[in-house]
């Protein structure tokens, strides 16, 4: 089998934030009727988490269930488990109007860490990144400069960010520029 | 800058996170329709200076279509509502009437 190479293969940047390009990440796109008990049961059982409310993320261990839209979820799980889990999901949802597809190689994932997290994000997205509008545990799909991306606030000074693989380098360069030393804003400090 | 709240996911989205979809509440005239109806459906649009109803897609977000009522001059937003709506909801019409008495847009408008 071929060797799996993650987008940017572990690139990292140290500035106002620590930016880490993460390793291979299993990702399964799920579409279905959120009101259908059968869909909810299968998905939550496989994910091992609760079913997320609108815009929220439910995480447990190395798996997370992300609310992407009123009929779309993303399941994050270990890369090695993605193919079999997607097949298992598809089989168990076969009677439902639902879809489960392994898209593990589609997106690049980054971890952002540092106190000026919200200030750095505010430079490159039109999204309201105040704690009131983007609390911990919430996923915001938005635009980072010229590309589509999603930001999941995993902690007070930590976020998971992902975008399409084809624009991974753009995202990394953009984040590194926005987090360049000496470019502090200080707006969200202490908020 | 225009900020519209997507009724599908609840996000207050910036204009640059959205894709414009043109005029809302069009009636489709397809095969079998008369030439005039078809021409209207295909080509003729309101070019409102004031109250207007539009389709937008939350492209850099949940990806869903929705409808919005706004003023093209002042950028005042009267409300957003689901795409599965054939005419402006009463609640939004009332809000417009309060702000723009006597407004008119196609077949809709403030009560005489
Ligand atoms: Zn939306």
ipTM (interface predicted TM) = 0.93
Residue A184 belongs to a domain: no
Q: Which residues of B touch A148 (CB under 8 A)?
A: 59-60
* More confident position, B90 or A190: B90
Can you give the CATH number for the domain in which B103 is found?
Answer: 3.30.2270.10
- Nearest by CB: A142 against B8, B10, B60: B60
Least CA distance to B15: which residue of chain A? A126
Least CA distance to A73: which residue of chain B? B62
What is the spatial distance between Cα A108 and Cα A149, in angstroms, rounded to a whole number? 10
Question: Are A36 and A16 found together in one domain?
Answer: no
Residue A93, min C-alpha distance to chain B (Å): 23
Cross-chain residue pair B60–A128, CB shorter than 8 Å = no
Average pLDDT in chain B: 96
How many structural domains compose chain A? Answer: 2
pLDDT band at A115 (very low <50, low <70, confident <90, very high): very high
Could you tell me if A141 and B60 are in contact, meaning their C-beta atoms sit under 8 angstroms apart?
yes
Segments forming the whole domain that contains residue B48: 3-108
Answer with the one of A58, A85, A105 that is the final residue of a domain. A105
Cα of A53 to ligand 1 centre, how many Å?
14
- Nearest by CB: A141 against B10, B14, B62: B62
What tens digit of pLDDT does each residue of B15-48 get? 999 999 999 999 999 999 999 999 999 999 999 9
Interface test with B, best of A34, A71, A142 (most B CBs within 10 A): A142
Segments forming the whole domain that contains residue A93: 26-105
Answer with the one of A105, A135, A152 that is the final residue of a domain. A105
Can you give the CATH number for the domain in which A65 is found?
Answer: 3.30.70.1520
Residue B95, min C-alpha distance to chain A (Å): 26
pLDDT band at A1 (very low <50, low <70, confident <90, very high): low
Cross-chain residue pair A142–B61, CB shorter than 8 Å = yes
Beta strand pairing call for B51-57 and A63-69? unpaired
Residue A185 belongs to a domain: no
- The arithmetic mean of pLDDT across residues A16-38, rounded, is 97
């Amino acid at each position: 089998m071929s060797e799996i190479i993650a987008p940017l293969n572990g690139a990292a940047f140290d500035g106002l934030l620590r930016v880490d390009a993460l390793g291979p990440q299993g990702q399964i796109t799920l579409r279905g009727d959120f009101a259908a008990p059968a869909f909810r049961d299968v998905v939550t059982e496989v994910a091992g988490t609760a079913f997320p409310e609108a815009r929220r993320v439910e995480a447990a261990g190395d798996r997370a269930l992300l609310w992407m839209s009123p009929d779309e979820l993303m399941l994050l799980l270990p890369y090695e488990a993605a193919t079999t889990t997607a097949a298992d999901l598809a089989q168990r949802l076969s009677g439902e109007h639902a879809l489960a597809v392994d898209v593990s190689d589609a997106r690049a994932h980054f971890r952002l860490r540092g106190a000026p997290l919200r200030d750095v994000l505010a430079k490159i997205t039109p999204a309201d990144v105040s704690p009131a509008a983007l609390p911990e545990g919430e996923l915001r799909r938005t635009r980072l400069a010229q590309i589509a991306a999603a930001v999941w606030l995993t902690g007070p000074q930590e976020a998971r960010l992902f975008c399409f693989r084809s624009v991974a380098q753009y995202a990394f360069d953009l984040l590194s520029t926005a987090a360049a030393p000496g470019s502090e804003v200080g707006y969200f400090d202490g908020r | 800058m225009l900020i519209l709240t997507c009724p599908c996911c609840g996000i207050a989205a910036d204009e640059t996170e959205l894709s414009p979809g043109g005029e809302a509440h069009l009636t489709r005239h397809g095969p079998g329709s008369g030439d005039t109806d078809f021409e209207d459906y295909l080509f003729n649009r309101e070019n409102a200076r004031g109250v207007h109803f539009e389709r937008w897609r939350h492209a850099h977000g949940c990806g869903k279509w929705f409808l919005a009522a706004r003023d093209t001059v002042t950028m005042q937003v009267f409300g957003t509502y689901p795409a599965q709506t054939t005419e402006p909801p009463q609640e939004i019409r009332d809000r417009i009437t309060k702000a723009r008495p006597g407004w008119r847009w196609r077949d809709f408008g403030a009560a005489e």
